[in-house]
Amino acid sequence: MDNRWKPSVTVAAVIERGGRFLLVEEHTAEGLRLNNPAGHLDPGESPADGVARETLEETTHRFTPTALVGVYLSRFQRAGRDGQPDEDITYLRFAYCGELGEVVAGRTLDTGIVRTLWMTPDEIRASSARHRSPLVLRCMEDHLAGQRHPLSLVFTDASVGQDPPSR
């Protein structure tokens, strides 16, 4: 049995416009929750490519990352239900800010996403009990504090996009 710790790698977009932040409202096992446009990094993609894809899937808008806001670790624990084992997941999140582009005609929101909404920082702070993760608030606060790192801080080697050797 492999006991190596394997955190789930996720990407998130911190999008501000006119003093409001773009969030998504989504169905989760814990009920309707608020989150940044975010999701799991897919095999073969860089974190910057992943956040652009996830933002498109969850908001129908194109997104171009311009800076890394931060890299975060968080732990999620859920008691097992209906005979399922307990879940204990550690997430490694790469959060980016950037330019929100146009809506892509014909796109629909990803499965589970109910709607997108623009919220003020105070509204986000007041709704923390509904956040999917404590990182929703932390990423916004870091963005408001001016935390920005160059995209080059996260290097993705060309080997990531290559097919594995055949056996």
Percent residues over pLDDT 90 in the chain: 82
pLDDT value of residue 5: 84
Percent residues over pLDDT 70 in the chain: 96
CATH of 8-152, one of 2.40.50.180, 2.130.10.30, 3.40.50.1820, 3.90.79.10: 3.90.79.10
Q: How far is CA 73 from CA 18, 90, 101, 110, 138, in A?
A: 29, 7, 28, 25, 11
pLDDT value of residue 80: 78
What residues pair up with 131 in beta bridges, in sequence order?
A: 34
Say whether pLDDT at 163 is over 90. no
What residues pair up with 101 in beta bridges, in sequence order?
A: none
pLDDT value of residue 1: 59
Q: How confident is the model at residue 161 (pLDDT cuts 50, 70, 90)?
A: confident
Give the number of residues written for the chain: 167
Say whether pLDDT at 11 is over 90. yes
Q: Where are the domains of the chain?
A: 8-152
Q: How far is CA 20 from CA 17, 117, 119, 124, in A?
A: 5, 9, 5, 9
Question: Does the pTM of the predicted model rise above 0.95?
Answer: no
